[in-house]
Structure 1
Amino acid sequence: KREPKKMRNPQIKHEHIIYDVLAGAAGIPQCHWYGQHDDFDCIVIDLLGPNVNQLKEFTTKLPMEVVIDFGCQMVTMMEHIHNRGLVYRDIKPDNFLFSADYFMPEPDMVETTDEHGMSAIKYRYPTCQEIFKKWQVVSPKLYLVDFGLTTWWRNPETKQPYPETKKDYRNKAGTARYASLHVHRGKPHARRDDIESIGYLLLDMIFGTLPWTGIQARNSRAGWDRMRQIKEDTFMSDICAGLPKGILEFIEYARKIKFLEEPNYELLRQFLKGSIEGAYSDLVVSPFGGHADKKWLKERNRKPSYQDQGVFQMDDLVQAVNDIKPNKRNSYHRRTSKDLGKPEKSRRRKKQVGWNSHKHDNEPWAPAIDWSVPTEKPEEAQWEKLDTWGNKSENWADTVNKPWD
């Protein structure tokens, strides 16, 4: 992995420090080298394979046993990271990888016939069990990468926790889809937020989507606010209807943790393990009666007919990691007293399209030629009798008999 030395928000050096702090833990890759090469900051870690998001998108469905196993591994990773005084802050399936020995198989091509009797080719994607069978493993091990947003929840020298600030942060870090409610409200990251994000990730692996997935907004701030509103207004028991009770207990417990409170990691693992066979295996009933009909599950494969160019996609949005320098020409110009009296150009005003559209509303049509003034009359043609046809001395026509003479 590498990045330019002159990057606005460099992360490679910070990641190198985090890898050294977390060295030796289960699920943490080993950092082999860090340095500069050809105007780049570079870091070399263990080679890894596909990630959880690729597995989720490739397979038809992730079994509950696989989701529970992945969740327990994630909780154990967060326990080690938190014990070292750090918070991860960027929980998402793309950052959990498998070993480099594993790869995603190609889908099988199946020849079928359509309703008109014509031959057609369809693709059959393998199940999660079939993939693990090819990998020759029952439960693959997860590895965590990308520590660019990881920060300290306690002072690394004094080991004292940083107090909770009353100031609300406008710039939020992490992926909006899996962000906790406290992060949406502008609170600083704590250990509780990593746990709540894991809960949302578990739901995403089970259902393949979330109620707030695919939010569209005019900008990132509006998108974050829209996701916060949906997360606050949605009953978690309604989302988890039909799932084991342990999944619901996991998320509700994470939301109740205080800022400086240490999560009970063993209890979290019990919630997950008990969801298969145990005290938390009972199915959740929706507060609206029975197992609610999740309309948002039916909409996950629905594609919009069109997308406005001004619409901002919130999926997999990462804030505070902008590697592109701001363009001064496109930056917002703050109006001053000098601008008074000048018409403000609206960005949303539609451009008039047509012939000479840039000035035909303000200037009348003034043709270059004034057709109202008569032009000069052309000279009259005069026809004279032609005495000879050709040159008598040199032309062969002189020898031709002319009956009209």
Structure 2
Amino acid sequence: MRGVPKANQFIHSYSVCGIYQVTHRLGEGSDGDVMRAFNINTGAEVAIKQMSRTNRDDLLWPILKFEALILALIPDGTEGFPSVHYAGPDANEYVIVMDRLGPNLGALHRLCREKFMLRTICMLADQMLDRIQLLHSRGVVSCDIKPQNFAMGFDKTAHIVHMFDFARSRLYVNPDGEHLPLSTSDRPLGTVRYASIAAHRSQTVSRADDIESLLYVLLEFLHGTLPWEGLPVSLTAKSVLVLKADSSPTGSIQTMLARSPPEFAAYHAHVTGLAFGEEPDYALLRGLFRRRMREEGWVYDGNYDWMDPSELVKGTLIPAEYNVSMDFVEDKEWNPNYM
């Protein structure tokens, strides 16, 4: 289990906004800390993202304010997105109070020996594409699609994939609703492991970036690793671009696609065929995985690998009595250069 998960890190308890009692630290990074808390009036558990208590530099406030504005574009109650209960200042900090979620997909992937069965991947891909499409419909691209930014719900929504953490998101349209023109800048790459080719080249964001990043996530779910993992940090950006752009004779994305079910090659062909600014065909991509579900006779029952270990061929690290729990939440990838 790699020691004690961050969700078990008890802290000196304190209150936020006078009604939320903080009990655990869930994660920390350059754009804020994430804490576990509960409403002292109702007992309902929530997650709170806030500026670091050890760094009261106001430069962090605009990042959290921007994320709150992105979240405000998504109506509360929208399936697959946490509802926001409060976003604003609290004493010397800026906080976002939102629904508590279950374990993120990165943690669940590790617990399943870093490989998901194709049936689970198909069910996850369907929902993840839905979440990304809705975000895009609000004029926003994530710029940081990765397993740690998707989590299962909690309790009655434990079968639903939720998308969260929009601190690195960008608008891809101008105030008139027109797509931003293609240009080169020094914009953040997101997480190098999953960043799109355009992101490596510091080009203007588009919807295709998120869709391409999701492909890398799904391939990692299937194979356990990606060809560019483990490269020396000094070679990371250039070497990853070479492998993703398929200009390497071995170990490239094409090599990985050749070892994958045909749905992944069709997905890759669609992404690489998109012109800059062109809207991805989300229905076509979902259809690839839905067709495989039909052909195999699988049903969308929310019975993922981590919920029914008896169906796994190679075993699992999760006991049969496993229940979705915040104890397995872990986020180590706040650093965008983490491989």
Q: What is the TM-score when the length of structure 2 is the normalising length?
A: 0.67
Cα distance in 2 for residues equivalent to 1:276 and 1:267:
14
Q: Is the 8 A contact 1:79 1:265 kept in 2?
A: yes
Q: Residue in 1 aligned with 2:164?
A: 145
Structure 2 residue 57 is the aligned partner of structure 1 residue 41: no
Name 2:50's counterpart in structure 1.
2
Check the 8 A contact 1:250/1:272 in 2, yes or no: no
* Deviation of 1:26 (Å): 2.2
What is the CA-CA distance between 1:240 and the residue it aligns to?
2.1
Cα deviation for residue 252 of structure 1 reads 2.2
- The one of 17, 22, 26 equivalent to 2:69 is 17
* Structure 1 partner of 2:24: none
Residue aligning to 1:227? 240
Distance in 2, matches of 1:319 and 1:8, equals 19
Matched residues in 1 for 2:268 and 2:125: separation? 12
Residue 245 (str. 1) matches residue 250 (str. 2): no
- Larger RCO, structure (CA 8 Å, separation 6 or more): 2
Distance 2:334 2:67 in 1: 20
Instruction: Say if 1:172 and 1:184, in contact at 8 Å, map to a contact too.
Output: no
Counterpart among 121, 127, 130 of residue 73 in structure 1: 127
Distance apart, 1:230 and its partner CA: 2.2
Counterpart in 1 of 2:138?
Answer: 84
Give yes or no for contact 2:146–2:194 (8 Å, CA) kept in 1: yes
Unaligned runs of 5+ in 2: 1-48, 297-331
SS for the counterpart of 1:173 is coil
Give, in angstroms, the shift of residue 170 of structure 1.
3.9
CA contact (8 A) 1:33 1:44 kept: yes
Task: Find the aligned partners of 1:41 and 1:317 in 2 and give their Cα distance.
Answer: 19
Q: Judge conservation of contact 2:141–2:210 (CA < 8 Å) in 1.
A: yes
Contact 2:181/2:204, CA 8 A, preserved across alignment: no
Aligned position for 1:178:
194
Specify whether residues 187 and 278 from structure 1 end up closer, same or farther in structure 2 by C-alpha distance, changes over 3 A only.
farther
Distance change in 2, residues 1:225/1:164 (3 Å): same
Structure 1 vs Structure 2 CA RMSD: 2.5
Identity of aligned residues (%): 28
- Once residues 149 and 171 of structure 1 are traced to their aligned partners in structure 2, the CA distance between those partners, rounded to angstroms, is 10
Checking the alignment, whether the CA contact within 8 Å between 2:200 and 2:241 is kept in structure 1 is yes
Q: Deviations over 1:298-333 (max 9, x none)?
A: xxxxxxxxxxxxxxxxx947449xxxxxxxxxxxxx
Q: What SS class does the counterpart of residue 292 from structure 2 fall into?
A: coil
The within-5 A match list for 1:304-315 is none
Choose between structure 1 and 2: higher helix proportion: 2
- Partners in 2 of 1:94 and 1:154 — Cα distance? 26
**Residue in 2 that maps onto 1:101:** 155
Q: Which has the higher strand share?
A: 2
Q: Greater Rg, structure 1 or structure 2?
A: 1
Whether 1:259 aligns to 2:276 is yes
Aligned counterpart for 2:82 among listed residues 29, 36, 39? 29
Q: Distance in 2 between matches of 1:171 and 1:160?
A: 20
1:119 maps to none
- CA deviation string 1:260-294 (max 9, x = no partner): 10111100111222234559xxxxxxxxxxxxxxx
Residue aligning to 2:39 = none
The AA in structure 2 aligned to 1:150 is S
Q: Is the 1:244–1:276 contact (alpha carbons within 8 Å) kept by the matching residues of 2?
A: no
Cα gap change, 1:253/1:316 in structure 2, threshold over 3 Å: closer, same or farther? Answer: farther
**For residues 227 and 273 of structure 2, what CA distance do their matches in structure 1 show?**
21
Query: 1:171–1:263: structure 2 CA closer, same or farther, 3 Å change rule?
Result: closer
Contact 1:51–1:93 (Cα < 8 Å) also in 2: yes
Kindly provide the CA deviation profile for residues 145-187 of structure 1, in whole angstroms up to 9, marking residues without a partner as x. 11101111112x322221112xx33453210000111111221
Distance 2:334 2:271 in 1: 22
- Separation of aligned partners in 1, 2:68 and 2:140: 14
| Contact 1:34–1:44 under 8 Å retained in 2 | yes
Q: Secondary structure at the match of 1:261?
A: coil
Q: Quote the offset at 1:241 in angstroms.
A: 2.6
2:216 to 200, 209, 223: 200
CA–CA distance in 1 between the matches of 2:255 and 2:191? 23
Query: What stretches of structure 1 of length at least 5 have no aligned partner?
Result: 103-134, 280-314, 321-405
Q: Is the 8 A contact 2:189 2:200 kept in 1?
A: no
Match 2:117 to one of 63, 72, 75: 63
What count of residue pairs does the alignment treat as equivalent? 245
**Residue 178 (structure 2) aligned to one of 136, 156, 160:** 160
Structure 2 letter corresponding to 1:275: R
The SS at the match of 1:11 is helix
1:194-228: per-residue Cα shift (whole Å, max 9, x none)? Answer: 0000000000111111111112123xxx4211211
User: Could you tell me how far 1:237 is from its partner in structure 2?
Assistant: 3.5
Query: TM-score, normalized by length of structure 1?
Result: 0.56
Matched to 1:224, the amino acid is: A
